[in-house]
Structure 1
Amino acid sequence: MKINWGTGIVLSFIGFISFIMFFVVRMNTDDRANHDLVTEDYYKQELSFQKEIDAEKEANALPTQLQLKRIEEGLQIRFPKEMDPTKINGIVSLYRPSNKHLDFDLPISLSNAHLLIPDKRLLDGRWDITIRWTYDGKNYLVKESMTY
């Protein structure tokens, strides 16, 4: 059977479209390529953006900054020494950009000046850490990205 140039062009188009459709279907069904770009309540978070800016300014104005330190037992968050640890209330949010199932929040309840996040809760890789706390009626916010 002889294939003329018109049939060759049609077969080339069909082959190319099949090739592209194969990769589109494969990428949509593959769990390894499942990356979330934003959080679930993205628009709600955008409405409170000015409050976050003010809270970050308050945290940056402190004489002693909040410190994140990796130690053998896990991740240690050390609050400013000027603050009474029993009066600090808030939440620590850990966001994993590559897998939303690893995200978690921890309430802040302190008896001393530091909070320890156990090593078994943190897998190796990038984490976005947001620490929100209230002390004497003022809101504070610190955002950090780290590779654990």
Structure 2
Amino acid sequence: MNWGTKIVVSFILFVGLIATMVIISMRQDVSLVAKDYYVQEIAYQDQIERIKNYKGLGDNQVKLKYEVQTDKIVLILPKSYAGKGEVHFFRPSDASLDARYVLKPDAEGYQHFHASDFKKGLWRVKISWHENDREYYEEKTLII
């Protein structure tokens, strides 16, 4: 094989490699974490205030536990909770698995979720509520 043929073969292999890389990169999902990302970014100062209000609760903060024995996720709210809110189970790797629930704790402040309703792996649990003209927000990490 002479040097001219080697150059042509090298060029064809290079073009094949680049074409393969383009095809692979075109098939990757590059969606944003949230569809309204830019709107959320603009309103983030309000989010900072919600987080600040939450941290001001002191010992009355929200707790989240995964109980393996009962296969339940337990959300523990302050007993004084009397507001309205939402729990958002956010799956960073697949938005189609996200779930939202209304906060409905029992008299002791507990709210239970069946872990079997959720795929195993990493979840971010976003808890937001308003009470007494104040808004609160907390985000917890959960591994099922």
- The TM-score normalised by the length of structure 2 is 0.85
d(CA) in 2 for partners of 1:74, 1:21 = 48
SS at match of 1:55: helix
2:126 aligned residue: 130
SS at match of 2:8: helix
Q: Judge conservation of contact 2:77–2:105 (CA < 8 Å) in 1.
A: no
Instruction: Identify the match of residue 65 of structure 2 among 64, 69, 72.
Output: 69
Alignment map for 1:1-148 (pairs within 5 Å) = 3-26=1-24, 28-29=26-27, 34=29, 36-63=31-58, 64-71=60-67, 72-81=70-79, 83-84=80-81, 87-112=82-107, 113-148=109-144
- The TM-score normalised by the length of structure 1 is 0.83
Per-residue CA deviations over 1:18-76 (Å, capped at 9, x if unaligned) read 123224324544xxx64645211111111221111111111111132110011224211
Amino acid at match of 1:15: L
Q: Judge conservation of contact 2:92–2:124 (CA < 8 Å) in 1.
A: yes
Per-residue CA deviations over 1:63-101 (Å, capped at 9, x if unaligned) read 3211001122421110112x14xx221111111111111
Amino acid at match of 2:19: M
Q: Judge conservation of contact 1:89–1:108 (CA < 8 Å) in 2.
A: yes
SS at match of 2:125: strand
How many equivalent residue pairs? 140
d(CA) in 2 for partners of 1:68, 1:13 = 58
d(CA) in 1 for partners of 2:49, 2:137 = 9
Amino acid at match of 1:118: H
Q: What are structure 1's unaligned runs of at least 5 residues?
A: none
d(CA) in 2 for partners of 1:138, 1:7 = 75
Percent sequence identity over aligned pairs: 29
